[in-house]
Structure formats: structure tokens, C-alpha cells
A and B are shown apart, each in its own frame.
Chain A
């Protein structure tokens, strides 16, 4: 979810631009020329994927996928998010011109947190089955679970930053901040499920798409 123009005071929009510029410079430092088309093409794939809608009752929500971007691009995801935010504002007038910095910090921090969670997965060993009440339940693989958690955390962190930006703006925006944070809870579940499913697909088909790939990673396709 983005914040629109016209809400935040100048101090916060300027701080947003400053933090976004610094974080982009840090995360894009020493980028290889070979990485430039890779980051750009994958960013455009994410941009288009975010146009996909998931039906929710009579309405629908569009996917954000900042957590998944963190899992695929690693720290370069912050720059990819900046590109996506600029192009959304440019092509659709969605988001806002004066709040490009704040929106980038919001979504980009979520992507980086998702990346950090993804990196910790190798320390965890999960059983294949879980026994409960005398029955055995097959649980998703570690990578799928961490993909889902990273996807959900990406949205959660973005929601927290958005709410903080509204709260720091003024008392009049407190209720809006609470409502927006509340809306992020079902969004987290949706994004977590889609990210987990996507990671499961990639681990079976092409695990090298995901960052922190090591030879031997990947899931054996199930036999049906």
C-alpha cells in the first residue's frame, strides 16, 4: 500500500528522499554492468506481476510482492523497489511524486527485512511431518515456509512504516493509521501465501532465481 501526495508534511517527505537516496546508494554500490539488465528485467517482471489481482469478496487486491523481490534480488531489491515506485507514479499517477522517497523507504525496508529472514533459513531444520492428535500432517518445506514468512513480513514492515509516517504527521491521522495497519493483516496472509507458493514453484523449477542459491538447493518435484 502506498501513501499518496498531499498528506505528509515537507519534513517527512524530505527525510524520505534523503533516506531512500542513501539506502539506494548503499545497496547499489559496486553494481556489475551485467547486473543492470538483470535487475531491470526482474523489476519489470515484478511490476507486471503486481498488476495481478486476488479476489476478496466483491472486490480484489493487487499483489505488492516486495517481500518476494527481497528473496529474489537480495539487497538490490531496494533499488528495484525505487524503480517500481517511480514508474508507478510516472505511468499510473499511483503513489505520488512528492512521496516517492517515503514510499521507497516503506516498501524497500520491507524487501530488505524479507531478504534478511530468507538468509536465516539455513540455520533451521524442519521435520517432514508433524504429529498431532494421533495424525500425521505433512508440513511445507523449510524454503516454502521461509518464503511465506518473508513475503508476509515484507508487507508487515511496510505497514508499520506507513502507520508511523501517518502518526508522526499529526493527531488527525491516528485513526487512519490504525485502519491502514488493520488492513495490512489480511494483506500479509495473502502475500505470504503467494510468496510461499512462488518459492515452492521456483525451488522445483529453477532455484537459481532465488538469491543465496547454492548448488544442491531445490525441491524434487512430487510424483503424481
Chain B
């Protein structure tokens, strides 16, 4: 299971070496701007920029594909449903069914934007160790309690994935085959129950272990951030790209999405 999204965090590249605090601030601003785009050319520009970011980060193509394919899988039905259900402009027909080019354009815009945002987000998640990213979030004023819980949750996901795999093997060894029936629902409910019981019993031991190591409600880390002149420069570039995207999207005269947004 590909939970180690930060496996390429040690590659030598300007993106991996970018201070995590500046990187999160810059790429998050860029990603949020992508979500506001209403023109196809700018969506394509954002997608190309995101692809360039990942190329500079030297992330493998199959890794990027594994991350973006689920977005495509969930959004591809939009390319069929929206042109056929679009309220206006159904002057074309496809196999006898009214088809609205504006609806297809809107669906394409949604798909391209979603892929561009996921790819841009990989510029943070895949180029930075998870714990470093979390501490960077804390430096960016994310509440400490939430950051602590994120780190603990991430840590124990791996434990429970191992638990899940062992239990699935045990169930198969006892002849369990999942089918679409009530017995499977009951067994899955019991299965979830055993995970919860084991997690609940673990929490008391975990808390005592943490207390014995001096835990007093604060998470201490050896991660230190030392920004160089290149870090704010890269942030400035990200902000400039965001502004260019905004200005071209609104004032370059490209056709805006119709009836997609009020």
C-alpha cells in the first residue's frame, strides 16, 4: 500500500531543497488560485505549470500517475453527464441525444483543474518528509493540537494497515469470501469492531508510554528550519505565477465558463 508518499523527499532538486514553510505557503496559494479559474486556456496553463513543477522535482511519472488516476476516475463521468444534462445550448446531437458543447467545456475545465491541483499538491507532499511538513504547518500557525493528532494518526495508520492485512489473511484462511449479502455486512461490521477494540486498548498503553517519556501535552521535535535567500525567492516566484494566472484568467479576454458558477 503506497502510504509512503514522501519516498522521493531526499532527491536533490530545487523543490526538495525549498524550505517546507515557504513551499507550503507558496504552493497552497497557487493551488487555491487554480480552483478559482474559469477559462480553459488558463486551466491548461496551470496544468503545464504543475507538470513543470513536478519535472523540476524529478518525481517519476508512474508515481505521479498513481496519484492522479483516482481523480480522473472519479471525474470522467462528468464528461458524459454534463454535456447531456446542460440546461442550454443543446444544438448538437450525439447518437440522437442532445449534446451541449458548453457543458463538455465546463466538464473539461473541472477535470483539468482537479488534475492540476492534485499535481501541484504533490509538489508539497511528495517532496517533503511528512513530519517536516507537519512541523512546518505548525510554524504557519496551524493549531498545535491538530498537528500533534495528525502526526500520531499518520504513525498508527501503518500499524493498523498491518493489522488489517493480517486479519484479512485470517478471514480468508477460514474460508471467508466477500459477497453481496447480509452475512458479509455482519462480518465486516464485526471486523471493524475488532479493529476498534484493539485500537481502544492500545490507546491507554500508548498514553502511559508517552508519559514515561516525559510527554506533557507538547510534541517536541529535532526538526529545525533554516531558510536561505533562495527560499523567499521561490515563494515570490510562486506568488507571481499565481497573480499572472489570476490576471490572465480575468482580463485576457478568454471565454468564461457559463452557468457553471453563479
In the complex, chain A residues whose CB is within 8 Å of the CB of B75: 4, 6
Which residue in chain B gives the minimum CB-CB distance to A57? B180
Query: Which of A34-42, A109-117, A128-136, A156-164 lines the interface with chain B?
Result: A34-42
Main secondary structure of the interface of B (DSSP, over half): helix
CA distance A96 to B32 in the complex (A): 11
Render A158-172 as a binary contact track against B, CB cut-off 8 A, 1 for contact: 000000000011111
Known: A33-B216, A170-B261, A172-B86. A83 touches B113 (CB 8 A): no
Contact B36 A9 (CB under 8 A): yes
Chain B 50-88 interface residues, beta-carbon cutoff 8 Å to A: 67-68, 70-71, 74-75, 78, 81-82, 85-87
Size range of the chain B interface in the assembly: 35 or more
CB-defined contacts of A82 to chain B, threshold 8 Å = 146
Which one of A44-52, A118-126, A215-223 contacts B? Answer: A44-52
Give residues 7-26 of B contacting A (CB, 8 Å): none
A93 contact from B71, B109, B110, Cβ within 8 A: B71
A218 CB to closest chain B CB (Å) equals 13
How many A-B pairs fall under 8 Å by CB? Answer: 249
The answer, yes or no, to whether B207 is at the interface (CB within 8 Å) is yes
Instruction: State whether the Cβ of A22 lies closer than 8 Å to any Cβ in chain B.
Output: no
Residues of B within 8 A of A93 (CB): 67-68, 70-71, 118, 121-122
In angstroms, Cα B164 to Cα A206, docked, is 19
Asked whether, in the complex, the Cβ of B111 is within 8 Å of the Cβ of A6, the reply is yes
Taking CB atoms and an 8 Å cut-off, the chain A residues in 47-86 that contact chain B are 47-49, 51-57, 63, 65, 68, 72, 79, 82-84, 86
CB distance from B130 to the nearest CB of A (A): 8
On chain B, the residues within 8 Å of A90 by CB distance are 5, 125, 130
Kindly list the 5 A-B residue pairs having the minimum CB-CB distance in the complex, ordered from nearest. A197-B189, A6-B113, A40-B152, A201-B193, A175-B85
